[in-house]
Amino acid sequence: MSRRLYALLGTIIGLAFALPLLWALSSSLRGGSEIFRHISRLSWETLVPVDPTLGNYASLVTGDFGRAILNSLLVALVTVAVGLLISAAAAFGLSAVRFRGQGALFAIVVLSFLIPFDAIAIPLATLFRDWDLTNTYAGLILPGLGHGLAIFLLRQFFLAIPKDLVEAARIDGLGWFGVFARIYLPLSRPALVSAGLTLFIFQWQSYVWPLLIGTDAAHQLGPIALANMRGQFTIDYGQLFAGSIVLTVIPLLIILRFQRHFTQSIATTGLK
Amino acid sequence: MTGASPRGRSVGRPVLVSLAFLAPALVALLVLRLIPAVMAFASSLSHTSLVTGETTFVGLGNYATLFADPTFLQSVRVTLVFSLIVNPLQIAAALALAVLFTRRFAGVRFLRVLVILPIAVPPAVSAAIWSVAYRPDGLLNSVLSVLGVPPQPFLTSPGQALWSLIVLLSWIGVGYWMMFLIAGLQDIPTSLYEAAAIDGASAWARFWHVTLPLLRRPLAFVLVADTVSNFLVFAPVQMLTNGGPQGSTNVTMFDIFTRAYSVGDLNLAQAEVMLLVLLVLAVVIVQFRLLRGRD
């Protein structure tokens, strides 16, 4: 096949994947009655709003949705910060020195990420109810912290750091925390970015857990607020699309920014 | 297991240091993953009376109840049909797209990003967007009408609802799995293709004898991870079809949540979770066996 044929095929496929998002974007910029006017007959006006308005976004801010987005950001960012610290420390404990029983501890980590989270959501929700963590930020954040995959990713990366470097630093009088903070962490940027992305996306996209544990308006997360928009008697489609775009653009910017680190760390984790 | 090093450097204090570093994560994993897993299993073996609130041990009673329940059996059937369609479809598409988007042609990088875009879309958002696209007067029918196809009922038809979910999930998933396969393809040395070309191998032969064998590890990962994630699909089902019409999209994960929170029988739901996890594990083990056998 020739290059031009590939280019044509690639363009058709790329546009097909982008179409639903482009359509959501243009619909989010239309006034209420405009949304369905140009859908039933496909034309350029289906994708390009003639008279664009930011009204839908403005009304998002005043409603419950703005609060939900801030909640989602808070939950995801705290999870990334605390979760990375816990996971990196654990990965360090599993790779910097060797000791008897390490294999068993690593097995616990692997086992824990083989258990699908949705499978334990029901008993975990029961536990959290007993601990009065329903409708609290702690209740929303905590399940994101115990992420075996993040530990696994970081450990694979840490194992590649030469032990001589650690020995030399130890002889020079650097403490274990110093070795962790001043050698391992700075050398592991791609792995940290990739583990951080995993933690962020897990929280940003989570739906089942916040449905079980964050039900009041003050602790609602973005995806739940969006689902609730659809549950109302009259659906404001303009707001629905605007909410969809906001919930997509935030992780998209982060993924695009760190894409290179992400694929780089796929290459080093032994997935291949 | 590695044991202590002969120099004695790794025994004594460093072990305690390692454990101190590990402690927060181990506590988190125990409390947030392993203990709930054990609780789930225990709960699946007991029954809590709605009248008295008393919990009694019923052994495998809940499992027996499930296997006599037509709704459960229907959901197993739906889940299996769904998995048998969606997994091969997504992996074949991801592989084809990975091969296409590692070629050199104008705009390839930009077009690749377009395919990857849906990764950023949370499941609840894709469900919201596609629920409008699937309306009778929605985007999909207008695209079809350009192609000369009459309007389709999509989500309201028992024959089309599952397919509609499959299209939506593939829109989300294919770009993601493609990324892993592209990373794998880029690792194959070009010299191998040049050698094969000199030997006169056709494009198809090169794909079959060079690309596929060298792509085995990323393909195995994608196959297993895709299968697991498709067994756990929930948000789109809850938001788009609620398991209907006529139970045609009542996948096991949705059945579990209906049982737990609409019907209110947590024990029975937990037994169903256990069965789902067993099914997932069995499928994953079989996949690993098959892939290893090809060595």
Please state the ipTM of this predicted complex. 0.84
pLDDT (tens digit per residue) in B42-51 = 999 998 877 7
d(CA A169, CA A123) in angstroms, rounded, equals 45
On whether the CB atoms of residues B240 and B164 are closer than 8 A, the answer is yes
| Residues of B in Cβ contact (< 8 Å) with A10 | 100-101, 105, 107-108, 111
Alpha carbon B153 to chain centroid distance?
A: 27
A87, A92, A120: which to substitute to probe chain B, counting the most B Cβ within 10 Å? A120
**Conformation bin of residue B59: beta by default, left when phi > 0, alpha when psi is -120 to 50:** left
Q: Among A27, A89, A207, whose Cβ lies nearest the Cβ of B123?
A: A207
Extract the tokens encoding B57: 């041990």
Residue B9: pLDDT over 50: no
The pTM score is 0.85
CB pairs under 8 A between A and B: 274
pLDDT at B163 over 90: yes
What is the pLDDT confidence band of residue A244, given thresholds at 50, 70 and 90?
A: very high
| Residue B246 φ/ψ region, left for φ over 0, alpha for ψ in the -120 to 50 degree band, beta for the rest | left
Q: How far is B234 from chain A (nearest CA, A)?
A: 8
Sign of the C-alpha dihedral computed for residues A62, A65, A67 and A72 taken in this order: negative
User: Which tokens sit at A195?
Assistant: 């583990």
Average pLDDT rounded to a whole number, residues B160-170: 94
Say yes or no for a CB contact (<8 Å) between A102 and B276.
no
Residue B203 pLDDT class (50, 70, 90 cuts): confident
Instruction: Judge contact between B33 and A148, C-beta under 8 A.
Output: yes
Tens of pLDDT, residue by residue over B113-143, are 899 889 889 999 999 899 888 988 888 888 8
Residue B29 has pLDDT above 50, yes or no: yes
Six-digit token string for A72: 């989602």
Distance of CA A257 to the CA centre of its chain: 14
Residue B234 · residue B247 · CB < 8 Å: no
Instruction: Looking at the complex, report in whole angstroms how far the Cα of residue A175 sits from the nearest Cα belonging to chain B.
Output: 10
Q: Choose, out of B34, B100, B129, B267, the residue to mutate when testing the contact with A (most A CBs < 10 Å).
A: B129
Segment A160-175 shows an average pLDDT of: 88
Inter-chain residue contact B187 with A267, CB threshold 8 Å: yes
pLDDT recorded at residue B111 = 93
Indicate yes or no: CB of A119 within 8 angstroms of CB of B32. no
Estimate to the nearest angstrom the gap between the alpha carbon of B125 and the chain centroid. 18
Task: Return the H-helix or E-strand segment holding B46.
Answer: strand B46-48
Q: Are A120 and B37 in contact (CB under 8 A)?
A: yes
Q: In this predicted structure, what is the pLDDT of residue B6?
A: 45
Half-sphere exposure (Cβ direction) of B143: Cα atoms closer than 13 Å: 12
Does the distance separating the beta carbons of A247 and B122 come in below 8 Å?
A: yes
**Residue B8, pLDDT score:** 43
- CA nearest A10: which of B187, B19, B111, B110? B111
Comparing alpha-carbon positions, the chain B residue that sits nearest to A16 is B115
**Computed from CA positions of residues A249, A254, A257, A260, in that sequence, does the dihedral angle turn out positive or negative?**
negative
Tell me the sheet residues that pair with B46: B57
pLDDT-based confidence at residue A268 (cuts at 50, 70, 90): low
pLDDT per residue over B272-295, tens digit each? 999 998 998 898 888 888 877 554
Within 8 A of A9 by CB-CB distance, chain B residues are 100
Cβ separation A230–B128 shorter than 8 A? yes
* Interval B20-25 mean pLDDT: 92
> Residue B167: which of B226, B116, B93 has the closest Cα?
B93
| A155 contact partners, CB below 8 Å, separation of at least 6 | A90, A91, A94, A95, A106, A109
Interface probe, candidates B15, B29, B226, B273, chain A, greatest A C-beta count within 10 A: B29
Taking an 8 Å cut-off on Cβ atoms, the answer to whether A46 and B142 are in contact is: yes
- How many CA atoms does the CB half-sphere of A1 hold within 13 Å? 15
Mean pLDDT, chain A, integer: 86
Residues of A in contact with B142 (CB under 8 A): 39-42, 46
Q: Which residues contact B135 (CB under 8 A, 6 or more apart)?
A: B141
Inter-chain CB proximity B122 and A126 less than 8 Å: no
**A267 pLDDT tier (thresholds 50, 70, 90):** low
Q: Chain B contacts of A207, Cβ < 8 Å? A: 122-124, 234-235
Q: Using CA coordinates, name the residue in chain A closest to B284.
A: A114
Task: Give the C-alpha separation, B286 to A268, whole Å.
Answer: 27
Q: How many helices (H) and strands (E) does chain B have?
A: 15, 2
Distance from CA of A56 to the nearest CA of B (A): 15
For residues B236 and B168, the answer to whether their CB atoms sit within 8 Å is yes
Q: Rounded to whole angstroms, how far apart are CA atoms A150 and A147?
A: 6
Q: Per-residue confidence at B64, pLDDT binned at 50, 70, 90? A: very high
On whether the CB atoms of residues B180 and B221 are closer than 8 A, the answer is yes
| pLDDT attached to residue A228 | 87
User: Distance (Å, rounded) from C-alpha B251 to C-alpha A118?
Assistant: 14
Q: Is B269 exposed, middle or buried (0-12, 13-18, 19+ CB in 10 A)?
A: buried
Highest average pLDDT, of A112-116, B69-73, B214-218, comes from B69-73
pLDDT top residue among A214 and A262: A214
pLDDT tens for each residue of B236-256: 998 888 887 888 999 999 999
Respond yes or no on whether the N-terminal peptide bond of residue B245 is cis (omega within 30° of 0): yes
Mean pLDDT across chain B, nearest whole number?
87
Predicted pLDDT at A272: 39
Residue of A118, A228, A261 to mutate for B, most B C-beta atoms under 10 A:
A118
At residue A263 the predicted structure's pLDDT band, cuts being 50, 70 and 90, is: low
Chain B residues within an 8 Å CB radius of A158: none
Top pLDDT among A269 and A80 is at A80
pLDDT for the residue B11:
40
Say whether B114 and A18 touch across the interface (CB within 8 A): yes
Q: How many CB atoms lie within 10 A of CB A163?
A: 12
Q: Kindly indicate the confidence band of residue A50, based on its pLDDT and cuts at 50, 70 and 90.
A: confident
Reported as a pLDDT band with limits 50, 70 and 90, residue A116 is confident
Residues of B in contact with A45 (CB under 8 A): none
**Is the per-residue pLDDT at A56 higher than 90?**
no
